[in-house]
């Protein structure tokens, strides 16, 4: 057992653990909030913008960085739209929280 670990193996470890975390966290989400769950997961999956920024990054504009810039734009729509629409929905659930009313 010598040598370095292949990054793909590290990625796989992270992947499997993250799926477990996701599984346990999501089962705790209350069904009433399933629509906000979808919109916020949408926003989160647009963290793919990170890859798009890397693609658009190189100093000289070429085919790849142009594609990257388009991807940045598409993902940015999602980031802004996803979080804001989730916020808007959650505001609606906020006003009449039963506990707040009892206080």
- Please report, as residue ranges, which positions from 36 to 75 form the binding site for another protein (by CB under 8 A): 36-59, 61-65, 67-75
The CA distance from 70 to 61, in Å, is 13
Collapsing DSSP to helix, strand or coil, 5 comes out as coil
Smallest distance, another protein to C-beta of residue 53, A = 5
- Is 25 a binding residue for another protein by CB under 8 A? The answer is yes
From the centroid of its chain, how far is CA 79?
8
Q: Which is nearer to another protein, 4 or 101 (CB)?
A: 101
Structure tokens belonging to residue 63:
């085919």
The correct pick among 3, 4, 5, 95 for binding another protein (CB under 8 A) is 95
């Amino acid at each position: 057992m010598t040598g370095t670990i292949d990054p793909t193996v590290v990625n796989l470890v992270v992947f499997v653990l993250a799926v477990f975390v996701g599984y346990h966290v999501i089962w705790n989400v209350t069904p009433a909030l399933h629509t906000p769950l979808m919109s916020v997961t949408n926003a989160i999956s647009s963290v793919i913008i990170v890859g798009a920024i890397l693609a658009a990054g190189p100093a000289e504009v070429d085919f790849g960085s142009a594609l990257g810039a388009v991807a940045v734009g598409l993902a940015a729509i999602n980031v802004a739209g996803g979080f804001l629409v989730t916020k808007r929905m959650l505001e609606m659930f906020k006003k009449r929280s039963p506990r707040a009313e009892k206080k």
